[in-house]
Chain A
Amino acid sequence: MTDVTQFDSIIDRYERSEESLLAILQDFQREFHYVPEEGIRRLSEVMEVPESKIYAMGTFYKALSLTPRGRHTIKVCTGTACHLKGAPQILETLERELEVKRNGTTTDGEFTLECVNCVGACAMAPLTVIDEEYHGQTRSSKIMDIVKKRAES
């Protein structure tokens, strides 16, 4: 990834101001499924903001990732309610079936598996969020079905 035009086309959508940085990083994240190092460097050049500042932002926000993430994100809620309602089983199944550890990405770049601590929908426990879609009161087998469908989409 050394072609800077792909970054510039995103950067150009915004005003040249420090206030735009986070929005641009979020766009990078959406576009590339992570914030690439070259993107940070380019952003620093164009905006004339020190690279150390932008890198610090990249490490601070949880919505941004500095390592490539999968096309799909699976978040398993491991908050108290979900934990009691069987989140550990869901997590284990996903880890086993997708051959990935929590907070990791599958080798084919399809899925990133994450744990979150209570998303505020405890009544639906155990909860799994797949690409922003909430799946409540599910068993691991059902989650696997949904995940498999995603993989084909």
Chain B
Amino acid sequence: MEKISVKIDGRTFEAAKDQCILEVAHENGIYIPSLCYNSEVASSGGSCRVCLVEAHQGGRMRLVTSCNYPVRKGLEVKTDTPLVHRIRRGVLELLMARVPDSEAIREMAAAEGPTDVRFRLDEGEYDRYKCIACALCTNVCADVVGVFAIGMVNRGADKKPDTPYGKPSDVCIGCGACAYACPTGAITMKEKDGVRRIWGRDFDMVTCSVCGTPYIPQAQVDWIVRTTGKDRSFFDKCPDHR
């Protein structure tokens, strides 16, 4: 793999060509906040904009989203300038206004300064719980899990992840990867008496034959068996007792 060197906050690092700034920074212990990016999900990033940094190249400076901006020869990145912090505060403030209930965003914002917002949603105008419409969940469902149970529906202010027609999806396998990936905890997944509920559908859980813990939806086992040919008996026991 081609290696290049890139400067971040005055220090020089080795990086793979085309790696995104955010990853190079994180690998080297430099903090840049991020919400919608997950390194495991190729199509993620570029939506929440909390990861903006200064990218200097060829005598020009641009603010770029570090999660999807590839490092290049001669690139110099600044993550800790007054401009970056000012923009970041603004972004966080807007996100906080949009999803006032999200602890994750409140915490991230508090670290940057703002604890309250100057903008208010009109009372009763939106019912958007904690979702910032970043599409990480739908990308995970499509690109990592591969079942395409949910998609981003509507557009503009009404954009949100959902199953077709908001009905329980018959292709969903109840794996919960979307809920796990969501940066704001906006997707509810509940489990009770061996039944998991997510996206309005109930999934029977398979119980570990050793410890008796319900640990994986039957539908997910079926899916794995069908797509990978793995032996069904493999799922008799949970990962801890295999």
Which residues of A does B touch, CB under 8 Å? 37, 40, 50-53, 55-56, 59-60, 66
Contacts and interface: CB of A to CB of B under 8 A. Distances in A.
5 contacts: A50-B142, A50-B151, A52-B138, A52-B169, A59-B154
Contacts of A55: 151, 153, 164-165
Contacts of B148: 50-53
B65 interface: no
Nearest to A50: B148
B81 to A, nearest CB: 37
Given A52-B148, A53-B148, A40 B164 contact: yes
A100 to B, nearest CB: 22
A60 B154 contact: yes
A40 B142 CA distance: 18
Nearest to B166: A55
A120 to B, nearest CB: 20
Interface of B: 138, 142, 148-155, 163-165, 169, 171
Contacts, number: 34
Given A50-B171, A60-B154, 5 more contacts: A52-B138, A52-B151, A52-B164, A55-B164, A60-B155
A3 B213 CA distance: 46
A56 B152 contact: yes
Contacts of B169: 52
Residue with the highest number of chain A CB atoms closer than 10 Å, among B138, B152, B163, B164? B164
Closest 3 CB pairs of A and B: A50-B148, A52-B151, A55-B164
Contacts of A40: 164
Nearest to B153: A59
A56 B166 CA distance: 11
Residue with the highest number of chain B CB atoms closer than 10 Å, among A55, A59, A60? A59
Contacts of B155: 59-60
Contacts of B138: 52
A18 to B, nearest CB: 13
Contacts of B165: 37, 55, 66
Contacts of B164: 40, 51-52, 55
A38 to B, nearest CB: 11
A45 to B, nearest CB: 12
A40 B150 CA distance: 15
Contacts of A51: 148, 164, 171
Residue with the highest number of chain B CB atoms closer than 10 Å, among A50, A52, A55, A66? A52
Nearest to A59: B153
B134 to A, nearest CB: 15
A41 B163 CA distance: 13
A10 to B, nearest CB: 19
Residue with the highest number of chain A CB atoms closer than 10 Å, among B142, B152, B153, B155? B153
B148 to A, nearest CB: 3
Contacts of B150: 52
A122 B230 CA distance: 65
B205 to A, nearest CB: 24
A56 B171 contact: no
Contacts of A60: 153-155
Nearest to A54: B164
A56 B158 CA distance: 12
A52 B149 contact: yes
B199 to A, nearest CB: 11
Residue with the highest number of chain B CB atoms closer than 10 Å, among A37, A56, A66? A56
A91 to B, nearest CB: 22
A88 B171 CA distance: 46
A50 B154 CA distance: 17
